Amino acid sequence: MRKGKLRRMLVNSVPLETERLILRRIEPRDDKDMFDYASRPEVTEYLLWMPHVNIEATRGYIEFIQTRYKKGLYTDWALELKENRKMIGTCGYANIDSSALRCEIGYVLSPEYRKKGYMTEAVNAILDLTFSKLFFESAELRIMDENADSAKLAERVGFRLDRVIKDELTVKDVPRTIRHYVMTAPQYFLLRAGKTNL
* Predicted local confidence at residue 1, as pLDDT: 76
pLDDT at 31: 98
Estimate to the nearest angstrom the gap between the alpha carbon of 183 and the chain centroid. Answer: 14
With bands split at pLDDT 50, 70 and 90, how would you rate the model's confidence at 196?
low
Helix axes 55-71, 31-38, angle to 10 degrees: 120
Mean pLDDT of 2-8: 87
Nearest to 27 by CA among 90, 73, 118: 90
pLDDT (average), residues 136-165: 97
**DSSP E strand stretches across the chain:** 16-17, 21-24, 76-81, 87-97, 102-109, 138-144, 160-171, 174-184
Q: How many whole angstroms from its chain centre is CA 23?
A: 11
Residues 171 and 147: their CA atoms lie apart, in Å, by 14
- The per-residue pLDDT for 195 is 65
| Mean pLDDT on 9-36 | 96
In this model, does residue 151 exceed pLDDT 70? Answer: yes
* Domains of the chain with CATH codes: 3-139 (3.40.630.30)
Cβ partners under 8 Å of residue 83, min gap 6: 20
| Percent above pLDDT 90 for the chain | 90
Mean pLDDT of the chain: 95
Its pTM stands at 0.94
pLDDT of residue 198: 44
**Binning pLDDT at 50, 70 and 90, where does residue 175 land?**
very high
| 33-90: pLDDT as tens digits | 999 999 999 999 999 999 999 999 999 999 999 999 999 999 999 999 999 999 999 9
Query: Which long-range contacts (C-beta less than 8 Å, at least 24 apart) are formed by 78-81?
Result: 78/23, 78/24, 78/25, 78/26, 78/27, 78/30, 79/21, 79/22, 79/23, 79/109, 79/118, 79/119, 79/122, 80/21, 80/22, 80/23, 80/24, 81/20, 81/21
103: left (phi over 0), alpha (psi -120 to 50) or beta: beta
pLDDT above 70 for 132: yes
For residue 29, what pLDDT band results from cuts at 50, 70 and 90?
Answer: very high
pLDDT band of 3, cuts 50, 70, 90: confident
